[in-house]
Structure 1
Amino acid sequence: MTTHDPRRLAWAYLSRVAQGPHRVLRDFAAEAGPEGAADAVSRGALGERLQVRSHIDTAQADLDLVASQGGRLITPDDDEWPMWRLLAFDGAGMPVGNDQCAPLALWVLGAVSVAELTERAVSIVGTRAATSYGEHVTAEIAGDLAIDGWTILSGAAFGIDAAAHRAALGVGGSTVAVLACGIDRAYPSGHSRLLHRIAQTGAVISEYAPGTTPAKHRFLARNRLVAGLGSAVVIVEAGWRSGARNTAGWARKLGRPVLAVPGPVTSAASKGCHRMIREGEACLVADAHDVVAEAGMAGETDEGRPSMFREIDALSESALLVYEALPASGTLSPRELSDVSSLPLATVRSVLPLLELDGFVASDETGWSRVART
């Protein structure tokens, strides 16, 4: 048995007693410290909900169990605490209910710093009943983002979540699974091997103490962390009534872009995405380039993608007519350009110097010609 720091033992105790988000307790711990908060809980000073569980002190055993599995408890005291990601929970306009706050602490499997993993991360979620189309699109988007250095965040569920995690792992990228139960439990059980692989290069995290079983309300609370720890939330396939919309709702509360991938109009699996796009709840995206355009940091470029616009689209109508009247090779005189473009000669002569100044045309003793543009 390892001897743990009293402060960390206090955090572990609070995590066990709270069983999820608890704003009053979190705020009190921030002011009085975890040991002061633990003392207040044990005396029944912070409300009945905490008082009825205050006798459950398994902090030492919880820390030992997680340590035996190669995990740890991280708290606001630690350098790897994703502080700037979680600040959004205290932002303007956020509800003040007990379940609308940042976690007290996070239980983690995986050696990489959580702050480092979430520095540049995108959350990808969707239906458990994914189609082959949804899994393909998810793999393309998640794989391309992971290759570019983005961490892929999801909830380790069947369907879209699993496809996102596997795509990141498949290209040697980082991925984080956020669970709605203790990190010592593989949920779903069929993803035991997947969760082990995630922990090897990324992280498996939860705000719930070891041994905690999954429950509907915990999945809903988990969704806020999936939304908050990423730069954006991408929805790939979601039914008309989808849990992914709950994650999208959290993203909007936290100021994160919500992005949705459209599917075939005949697909029931994409009705939720189409609804969010139509009602302005989400921005339509088709690939990783679209995601980076919304989630990337200011000044981050999207190299290698052809522009949707041509340089000549900025030309005036007259300038465009003159430019397009020029042959791909060879030259024309102003008079010939007037005939081809159907513009008055005076207009042609006034436009040509402007086109030359902008680098679209050049002139020599034989006339005017196009300039090859890269």
Structure 2
Amino acid sequence: MSREPWMSDEMSDERTARMALGMLVEPGSRELGLLVRSVGAQEALARVVGGYNITAGLAGAVQARLRALGIDGSANPGERLAAQMGELAERLGARIVTAADEEWPGALDELVRASREGNMLRRDTDPPMCVWLRGPLRLAESLERSVAVVGARAITGYGGYVASEFGFGLAERGWTVVSGGALGVDVTAHRGALATGGQTVAVLACGIDRAYPAANAAVLEQIGAEGLLLTEWPPGTQPHKTRFLTRNRVIAAATKGTVVVEAASRSGARSTLGYARLLHRSAMVVPGPINSAMSVGCHIELRQPGTVLVTRVEEIIEEVGSVGELAEPIQGAGRPEDVLEPLQARILDAVRPRRATSAERIAAVAGVSGRDARRNLPLLEELGFVVSSPEGYRLSSQPRAAIGEEKEDW
């Protein structure tokens, strides 16, 4: 097995062992993760292949994989597996990255934090042993400024608009858009990032050689050529329901935060958001119409403490970006009278639109002194808000929209 010039023999052996373990054991295995952290990848590989000092379940699963690969009982199965994987990666135009490689993102190692007791899907959240990549982006570098945009497959027009705007806007501002390559929100966010020539990463729940779903084959191919395709599963692996849920932990761990655009009450996007919370990443949700079935999950999540409501790209960046990257507050359209001081605005509000009125009458209606009215009305005339005549003052003939709402002639 060849190694990089910067890699020591020990690191090369560690890499080989991790590659083999990634081939033999389903991703996320907490038992395997604990074993590797306890005795190292090389000893862990020896134990799972030899079937000693591990549970019967893990030993049986590994033996089944070895038999399927046709290397049951062979000498140095780790080296053989790693060599086969390297040849396969080269043939597919892919590469394999482990924690022993410089390209490995340390953020994935934080998945140890998400491992906890509970049902299997929640327990088996350990970091990947290795990942398969296809594309020009360097994994660790591309994830330094990244946001996950996930959501419903049965996307609505509203969700499609938001996902596209977010994908485009984040990529345009130098953020990598990460999603799962699925129908709906995922692929729409990917397309938005690609449209601006930005960076996007698709995290798959199948082999790197599988275009799933087939309807997204062209987009996935473009991501493989311009962005990055990532998966934990070896080539030939079919997507299963549980693999999508296992995959979601990587999307959450790899990014600075997760944005859910649309989600039904039961949604894989919600599991991604749950992993983000476990990993202390930013959990962001876009609200939707209260009568939309595709926003029910979003509204449930918005009731969870710590969830951030976002409606604009700027608000996402404010949440996950550096100190000082603040979103400008949303303000209504400016009006000419916004330049006035409160007293002047109060006097202007008392001026009739069609009938000229004396300064004293205007002062009485506004509830100000005659002196204040006489001092400010000429200024209001100079600014174009009122016009004067021998009878007094009235509103100018500017369009009513420029002055405010239509006043009744009292």
Q: State the TM-score bracket (shorter-chain normalisation).
A: 0.7 to 0.9
2:124 corresponds in structure 1 to 99
Q: What are the Cα deviations for residues 23-75 of structure 1, in whole angstroms up to 9, with x where unaligned? A: 33224334543222211211213322331243425432222112222211111
- Deviation of 1:295 after TM superposition, in Å, equals 1.6
Q: Trace 1:30-41 onto structure 2 (pairs within 5 A).
A: 30-41=37-48
Decide which of 217, 223, 237 is 2:262's aligned counterpart.
237
1:82 corresponds in structure 2 to 105
User: Taking every aligned residue pair, what percent have the same amino acid on both sides?
Assistant: 38
- Deviation of 1:125 after TM superposition, in Å, equals 0.7
8 Å CA contact retained: 2:148, 2:259: yes
- Deviation of 1:322 after TM superposition, in Å, equals 6.2
Partner Cα separation in structure 2 for residue 179 and residue 160 of structure 1: 15
2:95 corresponds in structure 1 to 72
CA 1:322–1:9: 2 relative to 1, 3 Å: same
Decide which of 182, 187, 192 is 2:212's aligned counterpart.
187
8 Å CA contact retained: 1:134, 1:236: yes
Decide which of 157, 161, 169 is 1:132's aligned counterpart.
157
Q: Per chain length, whose mean CA-contact separation is higher, i.e. which structure has more relative contact order (CA < 8 Å, sep 6+)?
A: 1
TM-score (norm 2): 0.71
Decide which of 46, 52, 75 is 2:54's aligned counterpart.
46
CA 1:324–1:89: 2 relative to 1, 3 Å: farther
Flag the structure with larger Rg: 2
Q: What are the Cα deviations for residues 177-212 of structure 1, in whole angstroms up to 9, with x where unaligned? A: 111111121111222221121122221111122222
Partner Cα separation in structure 2 for residue 177 and residue 281 of structure 1: 27
Q: What are the Cα deviations for residues 80-113 of structure 1, in whole angstroms up to 9, with x where unaligned? A: 1110x2243234x852575032212211112321
Q: Trace 1:1-374 onto structure 2 (pairs within 5 A).
A: 6-44=13-51, 45-55=53-63, 56=66, 58-83=81-106, 85-91=107-113, 95=116, 98-280=123-305, 282-302=307-327, 305-306=328-329, 321=342
Q: Give the RMSD, CA atoms, in angstroms.
A: 3.4
CA 1:297–1:254: 2 relative to 1, 3 Å: same
- Deviation of 1:175 after TM superposition, in Å, equals 0.5
8 Å CA contact retained: 1:321, 1:341: no
2:383 corresponds in structure 1 to none
Q: Which amino acid aligns with 2:152?
A: T
Q: What are the Cα deviations for residues 337-362 of structure 1, in whole angstroms up to 9, with x where unaligned? A: x9999799xxx9xxxxxxxxxxxxxx
2:6 corresponds in structure 1 to none
Partner Cα separation in structure 1 for residue 180 and residue 329 of structure 2: 33
- Deviation of 1:266 after TM superposition, in Å, equals 2.9
8 Å CA contact retained: 2:15, 2:99: no
Q: Which amino acid aligns with 2:28?
A: P
8 Å CA contact retained: 2:153, 2:185: yes
1:359 corresponds in structure 2 to none
Q: Which amino acid aligns with 1:95?
A: R
Classify the secondary structure of the residue corresponding to 1:240: coil
Partner Cα separation in structure 1 for residue 109 and residue 178 of structure 2: 18
Classify the secondary structure of the residue corresponding to 1:233: strand
Classify the secondary structure of the residue corresponding to 1:54: helix
8 Å CA contact retained: 2:315, 2:326: no
TM-score (norm 1): 0.78
Q: Which amino acid aligns with 1:52?
A: G
Partner Cα separation in structure 1 for residue 130 and residue 89 of structure 2: 14
Partner Cα separation in structure 1 for residue 175 and residue 184 of structure 2: 21
8 Å CA contact retained: 1:142, 1:152: yes
Partner Cα separation in structure 2 for residue 86 and residue 323 of structure 1: 60
Q: What are the Cα deviations for residues 113-135 of structure 1, in whole angstroms up to 9, with x where unaligned? A: 11111101110111111012211
8 Å CA contact retained: 1:154, 1:177: yes
What runs of 5+ residues in structure 1 fail to find an aligned partner?
A: 310-319, 328-337, 349-374
- Deviation of 1:246 after TM superposition, in Å, equals 1.2
